[in-house]
Amino acid sequence: MNSLKKKNVAVIVLGDIGRSPRMQYHAISLLKEGYNVDLIGYDGVKPVAEIQNDPNIKLHFLSRLEFSKSFPLLFGYGLKIIWQCLCLFWTLLWKRRSNYVIVQTPPAIPALFISWLYCLLVQSKLIIDWHNYAFTIMSLTHGKKHMLVKMSIWFEGFFGRKSDGNLCVTKAMREDLKSRWNIK
């Protein structure tokens, strides 16, 4: 395939890239199909050798923002989300332009919004890889009625419906996405 005609894909993991085998698998599969891949996420565990050694894949590591346990929880969440928005958007803007963006959820906030915004600006296609719902994980810590959980439900439904494609880990999740938010 002529490198000028190659399509570019950004694969976003708002977590440790090395601990995301499914997203690494997506990156490798896309490489084998002739795509250039930008894999974006946090450094930590080394990704598989195939990803580290292929010249058609570029790893982009996001900067972490950590707080002490004595830091006010809601304030920390707010600052962390702002930081993640800035880091992810900056990274997306300064890498090669993507024809497609595949983003893993959870976490959904702010990854879905920033990915959607980038796709809107550069006219790319947004594909969401649904591993679980962020709101169900948040509800384990905060309870189902917590404001953050309710915001996450709205957020996932709103931006999930804006995607161009969706991947699910199970048939049950695919059916739930359709019945819950009419996401196909």
Confidence of residue 4 (pLDDT cuts 50, 70, 90): low
Exposure letters 116-154 (e unless 16+ CB within 10 A, then b): bbbbeeeebebbbbbbebbbebbbeebeeeeebbeebbe
Residue 12 has pLDDT above 50, yes or no: yes
What strands, in cross-sheet order, belong to the sheet with 57-61?
A: 57-61, 36-42, 8-16, 100-105, 125-130, 165-168
Please provide the CATH number assigned to the domain covering 8-181: 3.40.50.2000
Residue pLDDT, tens place only, 117-167: 999 999 999 999 998 888 888 888 888 988 888 988 899 999 999 999 999
- Contact between 59 and 31 (Cβ < 8 Å): no
Residue pLDDT, tens place only, 54-66: 999 999 999 998 8
d(CA 32, CA 143): 43
Handedness of CA 12, 16, 18, 21 (dihedral sign): negative
Given this model, what pLDDT does residue 10 score? 98
Given this model, what pLDDT does residue 139 score? 82
- Contact between 68 and 90 (Cβ < 8 Å): no
Enter the pTM of the model. Answer: 0.90
**DSSP-assigned states of every residue in 77-126:** HHHHHHHHHHHHHHHHHHSPPPSEEEEEES--TTHHHHHHHHHHHHTPEE
d(CA 46, CA 43): 8
